[in-house]
A and B are shown apart, each in its own frame.
Chain A
């Protein structure tokens, strides 16, 4: 079973707009990560936020974490065609670094 659920399942926006994806999870966590997957390819790690952090930035990415609500959001600013991909949140909560993925958000950027 999957730990996280992303919302929305699919998102289509105009190039240049901002894209926001949300992730909810079930159990207490050590870390939450976001990954990107281009069609038919492997996943690429984007950013990791620890359970004691509330916000983190990396380039055009902004991640927030609310442990009281067991939720996280990923904001991509000034979207580009190359951002078209599926985005997954992933959590780990035990000492063995077991990583469990959510169901993903499919993001499409319209030119």
Chain B
């Protein structure tokens, strides 16, 4: 069964360092989402791609976060510099164009120390 792949599963980094997360969506899924989930809360949408184009990044802290999906397939989310408050689960999801049922990866658990 096709899955959304994310790496790494866990990441510990010191504050002020740079960190990057990778996501490979299900093949053929044009829509890709990055969410941040703080423990005990619901996922918060950071950025949404349609193919290689950003559809929504209104909640992305652009002073330190960046996201790209250069060839419209896999995607990278970067934080530079990391802050203590960035500690959270970062979830990637994908869906087929025109449908909103999203398939999620296992997430990357980020701890900033």
In the complex, the answer to whether B42 meets A48 with C-beta atoms within 8 Å is no
Task: Check B107 for interface membership: any CB of A closer than 8 A.
Answer: yes
Task: Check B21 for interface membership: any CB of A closer than 8 A.
Answer: no
Tally of A-B Cβ pairs under 8 angstroms: 64
Q: A2's contact among B4, B31, B33, B42, by CB below 8 Å, is which?
A: B42
- Distance between Cα atoms of A31 and B44 in the complex (Å): 18
Interface of chain A residues 59 through 111 with chain B (CB within 8 A):
88, 92, 96-104
Interface of B is mostly: strand
In the complex, the answer to whether A42 meets B45 with C-beta atoms within 8 Å is no
CB neighbours of B101 from chain A (8 A): 33, 45, 48
In the complex, the answer to whether A97 meets B41 with C-beta atoms within 8 Å is no
Kindly state the interface size class of chain B when it binds its partner.
Answer: 20 to 34
Q: In whole Å, how far is A78's beta carbon from the nearest beta carbon of chain B?
A: 25
- Distance between Cα atoms of A48 and B91 in the complex (Å): 20
In the complex, the answer to whether B48 meets A98 with C-beta atoms within 8 Å is yes
In the complex, the answer to whether A45 meets B106 with C-beta atoms within 8 Å is no
In the complex, the answer to whether A98 meets B56 with C-beta atoms within 8 Å is yes
In the complex, the answer to whether B105 meets A42 with C-beta atoms within 8 Å is yes
B residues adjacent to A (C-beta < 8 A) = 4, 31, 33, 35, 41-45, 48, 50, 55-56, 89, 91, 93, 95, 98-107, 109
CB neighbours of A45 from chain B (8 A): 101-103
CB neighbours of A2 from chain B (8 A): 42, 44
In the complex, what residue of chain B is closest to A101 when comparing beta carbons?
A: B42
Given A92-B100, A99-B102: A42 touches B42 (CB 8 Å cut-off) = no
In the complex, the answer to whether B102 meets A98 with C-beta atoms within 8 Å is no
In the complex, what residue of chain B is closest to A32 when comparing beta carbons?
A: B100
Q: In whole Å, how far is B104's beta carbon from the nearest beta carbon of chain A?
A: 4
In the complex, the answer to whether B104 meets A43 with C-beta atoms within 8 Å is yes
CB neighbours of B4 from chain A (8 A): 42
In the complex, the answer to whether A99 meets B104 with C-beta atoms within 8 Å is no
In the complex, the answer to whether A97 meets B43 with C-beta atoms within 8 Å is no
In the complex, the answer to whether A31 meets B42 with C-beta atoms within 8 Å is no
CB neighbours of B99 from chain A (8 A): 97
In the complex, the answer to whether B44 meets A42 with C-beta atoms within 8 Å is no
- Distance between Cα atoms of A92 and B98 in the complex (Å): 12
